[in-house]
Amino acid sequence: MVTKSKIKAELESILPKKNVLSAIEECYVYSQDGTNDVQSDVLPDVVVFPETIEEIQSIMRFANENRIPVVARGAGTNLVGACIPKRGGIIINFTKMDNILEINKTNMTAKVQAGVVVGKLQEEVDKFGLFFPPDPSNLKVSTVGGAIAQSAGGPKTFKYGTTKDYVLGLKVVLADGRIMETGVNTIKNATGYHLEQLFIGSEGTLGIVVEATLKLIPKPETTNVVMAYFDNVEDATNSVTNMIDKNVYPSTIDFMNRNTIKTVEKFYPCGLLTDKEAALIIEVDGLNISMETQIMRLETVLRLSGATDIVIARNKEEQEKIWTGRRASFGATAKLRPDVLTNDMIVPRENISKLVSGINEIAEKYRLIISIVGHIGDGNIHPQIALDLENSAEVENYEKAKKEFYALTLDLGGTLSAEHGIGLEKKEFLAQAVSPEALEYMKKIKMVFDPNNILNPDKIFDL
């Protein structure tokens, strides 16, 4: 077994000493991520901040030869314990590898390092009249590498898809330090296996993504936001199908239930109607010339679908006011109890109302305070549970409720995660969500890429 002092000494011979942290206080900070209910009682031995791919290769060669666990980390905002170092070892932090290497307007592509912040990438490509649609809620800090590792999504999935739909190619450092380049710099590619897709959602268990070539699309000329209120969840969910039937394709269709509306308005007043059972936040985009027609069609569909009140933003300020209510949901829920836990399930859109009502019933059964938001156009729901993690009875009730949330989701033809991943939080339930054969081959693929099981061990499944 390699001692911590030897690990530190070796890494200081690879990187500048200022880029190697080993003090207890420093390592503690990087032993946690955004997951409230998954904690680590093990600290990493060392946290490193490489600046070049060659440094990462040297780190991996040393780690593989000595079977030292390695966890790659972006901003650490994931919610499933995906970058918690359960076995100690080395954390590779990508803060210093955050360069946008190229934006090509003609090809509509961007080449970036893994540490580039998603929000920053969006800002930069916007200057070229281009658009990178994936927008996780923490996009102001979330990194491209993290979004790839977790297969992140966001509210614009309904129209534009998720991270996996925008990755053309990857440069990956493998467990033994070799580099694999997969994918191409073109929109079409029918040349062999699409190995770049294998790394998306793998949570750093197969290799360490260091660079990505991403597809961009033309930036929509304009956007507008509409908020629609309903007296029942069924009408709200049915309105999505009605939009499709009438050729209305919003970029975003987000959902808030009554508890969420009331909680947000209590703590962050923004004019929400608290007597309604559900609200939809709908964003449409496209050509300036089409916006009036889109809004008229959308309003007609919403009223025919049972919307009781409709608010149409008249300017950017009003658009932002509507979105403020949606974005404030997590923070508002956190004010109800000392802690808040959020989850991530997805079902076919036709079963959304059954999922929402079932989640409410389960929460009531276990006396849990819950607010529900989600990307309803995708069938993706996020229950937000307010509780006290120091209260063992509340924690026990949450654990029981969580199992029933997942069972209900699977019964309704859905799956465990749409955009958060599996990590430590959901791995015990993975066998319920995928076939035995699929799980068997996932493990075989892991062992092909990482025979010594040093890359983010214990995540997704146990070997």
Q: Which amino acid is at 374?
A: G
Q: Are 371 and 384 in contact (CB under 8 A)?
A: yes
Cα–Cα dist 255/233, whole Å: 9
Domain residue extents for the chain: 4-93, 100-218, 222-328, 336-432
> Hey, what are 276's tokens?
């309604």
Q: Note whether 222-328 and 336-432 share their fold.
A: yes
Average pLDDT over residues 73-91: 95
> Hey, what are 180's tokens?
């694999």
Helix (H) or strand (E) holding 259: helix 258-267
CATH architecture of 222-328: 2-Layer Sandwich (3.30)
Q: If 0-12 CB within 10 Å is exposed, 13-18 middle and 19+ buried, where does residue 176 land?
A: middle
Average pLDDT over residues 184-193: 94
Residue 21 bridge partners (DSSP):
47
Q: Which pLDDT score is estimated for 359?
A: 97
Give 262-301 as a DSSP string: HHHHHHS-S---TT-SEEEEEEEEE-HHHHHHHHHHHHHH
How many of the other CB atoms lie within 10 Å of CB of 324? 14
- Fold of the CATH domain 100-218: 3.30.465
Q: Which amino acid is at 110?
A: A
**What dihedral do alpha carbons 19, 22, 25, 27 form, nearest 10°?**
80
CATH numeric code, 336-432: 3.30.70.2740
- Fold of the CATH domain 4-93: 3.30.43
- pLDDT tens-digit map of 398-435: 999 999 999 999 999 999 999 999 999 999 999 999 99
- pLDDT tens-digit map of 194-222: 999 999 999 999 999 999 999 999 999 99
CB-based burial, 440-455: b 16+ in 10 Å, e otherwise: eeeeeebeebbebbbb
Cα–Cα dist 374/379, whole Å: 8
Q: Are 314 and 235 in contact (CB under 8 A)?
A: no
Q: pTM for this one? A: 0.96
**What dihedral do alpha carbons 164, 403, 376, 201 form, nearest 10°?**
-10
Strands (E), 100-235: 100-104, 109-113, 130-131, 167-173, 179-183, 208-215, 217-218, 222-230
- pLDDT tens-digit map of 377-389: 999 999 999 999 9
